[in-house]
Structure 1
Amino acid sequence: MEIQGKVIAVLAPREGTSKTGNPWKVQEYVIETEEQYPKKMCFEIFGNDRISQFASMLVVGNTVKVSFDIDARQWNDRWFNSIRAWKVELPMQEPMAEIPPQAIPEPFPPAQPEAAATGESTDDLPF
């Protein structure tokens, strides 16, 4: 699944050691979609290598596109959702559409100096 939004929070990383003695690290981030009714989503990135890989993009204020998996697990008769990102990228900026130059109106025709000098009018207007 994918979602695009602005990073609004970077939470403190959590570290620990697994039952087998291997160290682990996870960090959570919160993004907010840019829709009429914005939604917030908290997701995590697991592993020190991935956290480092995406750290430059996951800065508060940046708009990012996050690819993630959703999973649920049970603990003490309760269920918890896990939203784990596996790819983060900056969205492609669409090139600005080229605005066609507006038609420049033709200037008014120049006044006829000959007619003005003789007092004759070339128009049919009654005033």
Structure 2
Amino acid sequence: MALELTGKLIKVLPEVTGQGKNGAWNKQEFVIETNDPQFPKKVCMTAWGDKANDLKQFAQGDTLKATFSLESREYNERWYTEARAYRIELVEGDAIRPDSAPVGRTEQPRQQPRTASQSQPAGVPFNTSFDDESNDLPF
């Protein structure tokens, strides 16, 4: 199962190395913050082996796309879940970020369509019109 996550690289944690029955290993954890403007999430991911070395080419604040798989394992009747990144790519440009408009272009905020109850002031009957000719206010 392949999943993808796009976000800003927040932190790269120290590299961890060790020796196992199959030889030496290394892993590096890193944190990505999603681009959701309303509820951004921070996700800690793990890069193993050569992918941990590839992580060194990215700087804090870069927008990355990580392809990963989730894996859970049990130890002493407790479950541990890991997001294991197997492809990490730099996202080109800021087009992926919804909170920024392209250079030279300003977008007007979208307005919600008005309902019939919002188009008339409160306390005025629904079928009343406000033409300039029928407006007999003294000011």
Q: TM-score, normalised by structure 1?
A: 0.68
For residues 17 and 30 of structure 1, the distance between their equivalents in structure 2, rounded to whole angstroms, comes to 25
Does residue 56 in structure 1 map to residue 52 in structure 2? no
The letter for the 2-side match of 1:19 is K
Q: Distance in 2 between matches of 1:2 and 1:11?
A: 21
Correspondence list, 1:29-44, <5 A: 29-35=30-36, 36-44=38-46
Question: Which residue of structure 1 lines up, in the alignment, with residue 10 of structure 2?
Answer: 8
**How many residues are treated as equivalent by the alignment?**
95
Deviation at 1:32, TM superposition (A): 0.4
The letter for the 2-side match of 1:73 is R
Q: Aligned partner of 1:42: which letter?
A: C
Q: How does 1:1-127 map to 2 (within 5 A)?
A: 1-20=3-22, 22-35=23-36, 36-47=38-49, 49-57=50-58, 59-93=59-93, 94=95
In the alignment, the residues of structure 1 paired with residue 54 and residue 103 of structure 2 have an alpha-carbon distance, to the nearest angstrom, of 33
Structure 2, unaligned runs of 5 or more:
96-101, 106-139
Question: What's the CA shift string for 1:90-124, capped at 9, x where partnerless?
Answer: 12334x5987xxxxxxxxxxxxxxxxxxxxxxxxx
Larger Rg computed on CA atoms: 1
Kindly tell me: are residues 5 and 43 of structure 1, through their superposed partners in 2, closer, same or farther at Cα, counting changes over 3 Å?
same
Distance (Å, rounded) in 2 between the aligned partners of 1:38 and 1:53: 25
Q: Distance in 1 between matches of 2:74 and 2:8?
A: 30
Quick one: percent identity of the two aligned structures?
A: 36
Counterpart residue identity of residue 2, structure 1: E
Query: Over residues 12-43 of structure 1, what are the superposed CA-to-partner deviations in whole Å (9 max), with x where a residue is unaligned?
Result: 011101124x0000000001011121001000
Q: TM-score of the superposition, structure 2-length normalised?
A: 0.63
Aligned partner letter, 1:3: L
Q: Secondary structure at the match of 1:60?
A: coil
* Aligned residue number for residue 125 of structure 1: none
Residues 48-90 of structure 1 deviation map (CA, whole Å, 9 limit, x = unaligned): x222223212x21111011000010011110000110000111
Secondary structure at 2:92's aligned position in 1? Answer: coil
